Amino acid sequence: MDNNRQIEQDSQPPPSLPASARLPINRCNLPAVILGSLTFQAHPVPLEIDGIRDFHDDLFATLDATPEQTDRAQGFMDYMTVHFLLEELEEAGLTPGRKRKSRVNANYLRMVRGWSFDSDGREGAVLKRWVESRFGLLARHHAGSLVDRHSDAYHQYLLQGTRGLYATNALEAQLDLLYTYCQCELAREHSDSTHITLYRGINRMDEHEVLETRVCGRHRVLLNNLNSFTSNRERADEFGDYILVAEIPLPKVFFYNRLLPGMLKGEDEYVVIGGAYEVCISTI
């Protein structure tokens, strides 16, 4: 019996999310080993950042009672402006006479616009650090591989993320609310779905960490903890010789360009939380 059990265990595939890609704790309702797994991709459940809905229940009650998407978007943005004093930064603690432009503009909108411009820039580092904190998924790439925690690329990533958060007005809490609002809107827009098909243009498969190669062009890959996809296959053609096609669980969508007015420049862009995924690779 023991020998049979050992043979069965040896025949099982390795964990879908390597221990080196996750933290032991996070700030949401599922641990990283689960939410970053292939099982979660196949059978997703809602993800909730600790305390956000309870603390801002008045906001979400108001949004639930607002039928028009444009009105909800404006209501959300107005709430963010008032709650985080985004237009009254001296009341939020900014020293008068020392209004550095980078600090004044360091809000949730600046972060997502910066991501659209350069996901390996300072704003991208802040967003990837936020994913690490809230979901426990470690960044794998930022202007270079981050697998070696002693590398210059990793130290620069930490430096950029720290500088991006320094002296900001509860920036991570702003991102918490942005993600939660995004999930509310996706639940309305895709009330009968659990996934959305998204595309990513790539030039080489070795741009991603392959966990397992399967039949019919399918691969199990470890994505970076935050990634850009598009809902437009033709748009993905512009970014590589191959197209990575993935069924993305709706709870893994951080934000998308139609969520708020003027939010992102890229057409049909979705920013997706990473982990292990089964994907299909096809030629253009």
The confidence score (pLDDT) of residue 223 equals 96
For the chain, give the longest Cα–Cα distance: 75
Boundary (domain end) residue, out of 189, 217, 237: 189
**What is the average pLDDT score of the chain?**
89
pLDDT in tens, 160-171: 999 999 888 899
Does 233 share its domain with 170? no
Does 64 share its domain with 149? yes
- Residue 20 falls within a domain, yes or no? no
Neighbours of 69 (CB within 10 A): 13
Does 248 share its domain with 179? no
Does 169 share its domain with 184? yes
Boundary (domain end) residue, out of 135, 159, 189: 189
pLDDT in tens, 85-120: 998 766 655 555 555 555 556 899 999 999 989 999
- Residue 43 falls within a domain, yes or no? no
Does 108 share its domain with 208? no
- Residue 34 falls within a domain, yes or no? no
- Residue 139 falls within a domain, yes or no? yes
For residues 260 and 162, what is the distance between their CA atoms, to the nearest angstrom?
27
- Confidence check: pLDDT of 48 > 60: yes
**How far is the CA of 47 from the CAs of 83, 106, 250, 251, in angstroms?**
23, 26, 10, 6
Q: pTM of the entire structure? A: 0.90
Q: What's the total number of domains in the chain?
A: 2
